């Protein structure tokens, strides 16, 4: 998910971590959080060559970003052959550049990087690659193919497609007729990810002969979500389906719904927060579309394989792919228990 200073500040996930922590994650089984050694699901999970992985991400000022960081740390602790060096989270590209330069100077074995600004971090990531350090690019893409060995992404267009396809199924299931009122509460309209989500939503609705009747935009914060939702409710006296792009801003969106005593519509969320999943279980929300908060954790796994010169044993072509796009499944009351462990706190 993209960054911006307007997002909620989370509870300082990395506040206690220095600029660069030389050994954030222990290599000893007794310090691995009580989980003990990883049970090997494949030979790749067996302990191998000890490697040092540098990890840098933005400041965790949003629930999803907090989950990105925490899942990365948790994943690294599973491997006795991984030492993780973590840079302090920041929304300042120049500071993140200095973090990567430190990783290069320290000759780490691999770097996992969720850039605060993909274009701004492209040059230093390319320098790492040229120094023989494989870079795993997470979520926000660099502007050059030479800046990363592999890129792992969520699917923003796919989120919109999933939300729109589910809306089409609801229209048929609930017998809403030929002209249901569909509303959309987007995130920051200036961001490509928001544009991709909206485009996917429109395309999916078009496939079943529907369109977005009312659209407002928020800023990925509780306050902006509440304001945007209040404006929407004033403009539309009746709504059949609402899709809100982001479950963090969804806290404010739902507050506006509750304050107005409006619940005639099916409420679909986005990203997959723990709040949203609890609302689904309680029958207060129809569904949410997952934007996986495990991207950096997957990045840690891939960086370990790259640093150890391993491939992916589940593929016929065993080398780590150049690009991986994760799925955007719809979470409903029927499958929410399956996805609840991935729910992040807003």
pLDDT, tens digit, 9 for 90 and up, residues 310-342: 998 888 888 999 999 999 999 999 999 999 999
Say if 332 falls within a structural domain. Answer: no
Using the predicted structure, report yes or no on whether residue 271 has a pLDDT greater than 50: yes
| The pLDDT of residue 316 | 86
Three-state secondary structure call for residue 138: strand
Residues 208 and 178 in one domain: yes
Residue 65 belongs to a domain with what CATH number? 3.40.50.2300
The gap between the terminal CA atoms of the chain, to the nearest Å, is 14
For tokens 């107005």, what's the residue?
260
Tens-digit pLDDT profile for residues 232-244: 999 999 999 999 9
Residues 168 and 286 in one domain: yes
- Residue 41 confidence class, pLDDT cut points 50, 70, 90: low
Runs of H (alpha helix) within the chain: 63-77, 93-105, 118-130, 156-173, 192-207, 222-235, 247-259, 274-282, 295-307, 336-339
Say what the pTM is: 0.81
| The pLDDT of residue 31 | 37
Least confident of 27-41, 72-86, 260-274, 291-305: 27-41
Give the span between the Cα atoms of 225 and 231, in whole angstroms: 10
Q: What residues make up the domain containing 116? A: 29-153+293-310
Residues 129 and 160 in one domain: no
| The pLDDT of residue 10 | 36
Say if 101 falls within a structural domain. Answer: yes
Say if 10 falls within a structural domain. Answer: no
Q: Which residue, 239, 262, 290, sits at the end of a domain? A: 290
Number of structural domains found in the chain:
2
Residues 270 and 298 in one domain: no
Say if 336 falls within a structural domain. Answer: no
Say if 15 falls within a structural domain. Answer: no
Say if 20 falls within a structural domain. Answer: no
Question: What Cα–Cα distance (Å) separates residue 322 from each residue in 44, 145, 147, 292?
Answer: 18, 9, 11, 19
Mean pLDDT, the chain, whole residue set: 89
| The pLDDT of residue 61 | 81
Say if 338 falls within a structural domain. Answer: no
Residues 137 and 181 in one domain: no
């Amino acid at each position: 998910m993209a960054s911006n200073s307007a997002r909620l500040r989370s509870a300082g996930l990395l506040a206690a971590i220095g600029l660069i922590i030389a050994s954030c994650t222990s290599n000893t089984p007794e310090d691995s959080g009580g989980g003990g050694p990883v049970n090997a699901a494949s030979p790749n999970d067996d302990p191998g060559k000890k490697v040092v992985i540098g990890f840098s991400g933005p400041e965790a000022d949003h629930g999803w970003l907090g989950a990105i960081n925490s899942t990365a740390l948790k994943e690294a602790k599973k491997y006795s052959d991984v030492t993780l060096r973590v840079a302090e989270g920041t929304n300042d590209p120049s500071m993140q550049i200095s973090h990567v330069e430190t990783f290069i100077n320290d000759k780490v074995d691999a770097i996992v990087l969720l850039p605060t600004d993909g274009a701004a971090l492209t040059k230093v990531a390319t320098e790492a690659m040229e120094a023989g350090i494989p870079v795993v690019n997470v979520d926000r893409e660099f502007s050059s193919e030479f800046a990363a060995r592999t890129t792992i992404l969520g699917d923003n267009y796919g989120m919109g497609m999933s939300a729109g396809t589910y809306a089409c199924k609801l229209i048929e299931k609930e017998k809403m007729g030929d002209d249901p009122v569909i509303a959309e509460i987007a995130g920051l309209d200036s961001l490509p990810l928001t544009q991709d989500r909206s485009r996917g939503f429109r395309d999916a609705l078009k496939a079943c002969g529907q369109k977005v009747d009312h659209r407002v935009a928020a800023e990925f914060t509780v306050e902006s979500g509440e304001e945007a939702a209040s404006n929407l409710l004033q403009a539309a006296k009746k709504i059949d389906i609402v899709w809100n792009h982001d479950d963090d801003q969804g806290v404010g969106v739902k507050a506006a719904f509750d304050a107005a005593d409006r619940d005639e519509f099916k409420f679909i969320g986005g990203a997959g927060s723990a709040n949203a999943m609890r609302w689904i279980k309680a029958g207060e929300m129809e569904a949410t579309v997952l934007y996986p908060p495990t991207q950096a954790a997957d990045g840690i796994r891939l960086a370990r394989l790259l640093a150890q010169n391993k491939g992916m044993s589940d593929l016929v072509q065993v080398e780590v792919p150049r690009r991986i796009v994760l799925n955007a499944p719809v979470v409903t009351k029927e499958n929410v228990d399956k996805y609840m462990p991935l729910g992040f706190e807003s």
